[in-house]
């Protein structure tokens, strides 16, 4: 079995930080995602490889195993146990003399690590001494799903395709950017009759042009004219649940922030609970004043 270089697939070196791995995955996933490359088999293949690479390198424990065992990282511990048992049997068969067995990585001529590992855990269904191989869970799969802020604010069904299979899930309102959920049994197929792996979906919620999210709270800005700021008045504010009218107090200063309780983002898996919406007023100064208006401002200045 050919060695798969997950570092090369992600475009990072072996000294890359976990943050470097995450950024590299997101950058390439956006380019190779099936939604952006319909009917492109090569992009689909690369996207699958990218998910496999991210599954391993984004998890420190899996990454350490991969650095030690290569693409057979999932079964590395079983390999070591089997190797230890083989050495013990060889020791017993030889009356306590290790000379007739194998040790360390000393395999027969023409047999490398992957070949030996394949015979022990792969498709042949037997170990190096002919015993039945074990059942192993399939590889977990990583995927990224992009939602805009308004979609993330409502519970809704979503259907997408992964590894040629359609998966339908219900996304709860209040999902966070970077949040990950697991779908059991939707990953790679098991080995030798073992269970399928799991599918891990990471949600990507890009910045919204109208609202800035902070936890379950939202922030927005509303422009008011100078006359409303000075004299008071009404202003219309956009919220996730529709427009509302606000009363602007006379003498409102530029940068003043008011809170609309319960008009923020839904709280994840807590029906009926919402954060707050913070509205900041930006006072727009009048331009192209007439001579009369300038005179009035002079009078106010000198009064």
pLDDT for position 132 = 44
**Same domain for 166 and 224?**
no
The number of folded domains in the chain is: 3
pLDDT tens across 44-60, in order? 888 888 888 888 888 88
Residues 6+ apart with CB under 8 A from 169: 157, 158, 159, 181, 183, 201
Domain of 237 in residue numbering reads as 212-302
CATH number at residue 106: 1.10.287.110
Position 298 pLDDT exceeds 70: yes
Position 156 pLDDT exceeds 70: yes
Q: Specify the pairing of strand 277-284 against strand 217-225.
A: parallel
Q: How far apart are CA 280 and CA 269, in angstroms?
A: 29
What would the two tokens of residue 62 be? 């899996």
- On whether residue 271 sits in a domain, the answer given is yes
> What value does the mean pLDDT of the chain take?
79
Q: What pLDDT band is residue 108 in, cutting at 50, 70 and 90?
A: very low
Task: Kindly state the average pLDDT of the residues 242-260.
Answer: 95
Position 206 pLDDT exceeds 80: yes
The DSSP H or E segment spanning 115 is helix 113-121
Q: How far apart are CA 28 and CA 8, in angstroms?
A: 12
Q: What pLDDT band is residue 109 in, cutting at 50, 70 and 90?
A: very low
Out of 86, 121, 156, a domain closes at 121
Stronger pLDDT, 110 or 283, i.e. the higher one: 283
Q: How far apart are CA 11 and CA 26, in angstroms?
A: 12
């Amino acid at each position: 079995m050919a060695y798969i270089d997950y570092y090369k697939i992600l475009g990072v070196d072996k000294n890359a930080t976990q943050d470097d791995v995450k950024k590299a995955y997101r950058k390439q996933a956006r380019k190779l995602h099936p939604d952006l490359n319909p009917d492109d088999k090569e992009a689909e293949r690369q996207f699958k490889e990218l998910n496999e690479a991210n599954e391993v390198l984004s998890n420190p424990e899996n990454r350490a195993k991969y650095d030690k065992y290569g693409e057979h990282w999932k079964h590395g511990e079983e390999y070591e146990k089997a190797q230890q048992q083989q050495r013990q049997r060889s020791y017993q068969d030889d009356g306590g003399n290790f000379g007739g067995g194998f040790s360390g990585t000393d395999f027969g001529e023409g047999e490398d690590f992957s070949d030996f590992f394949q015979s022990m855990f792969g498709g042949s269904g037997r170990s190096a001494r002919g015993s039945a191989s074990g059942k192993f869970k399939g590889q977990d799969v990583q995927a990224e799903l992009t939602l805009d802020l308004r979609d993330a604010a409502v519970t809704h069904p979503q259907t997408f395709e992964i590894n040629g299979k359609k998966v339908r899930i219900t996304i709860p309102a209040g999902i966070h950017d970077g949040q990950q959920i697991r779908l059991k049994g939707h990953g790679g197929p098991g080995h030798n009759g073992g269970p399928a792996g799991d599918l891990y979906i990471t949600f990507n919620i890009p910045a919204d042009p109208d609202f800035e999210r902070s936890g379950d709270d939202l922030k927005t800005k509303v422009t008011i004219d100078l006359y409303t700021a000075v004299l008071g008045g009404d202003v219309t504010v956009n919220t996730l649940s529709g427009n509302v009218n606000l009363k602007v107090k006379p003498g409102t200063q530029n940068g003043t922030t008011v809170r609309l309780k319960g008009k923020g983002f839904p709280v994840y898996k807590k029906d009926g609970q919402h954060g707050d919406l913070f509205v900041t007023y930006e006072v727009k100064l009048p331009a192209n004043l007439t001579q009369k208006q300038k005179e009035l401002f002079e009078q106010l200045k000198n009064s």
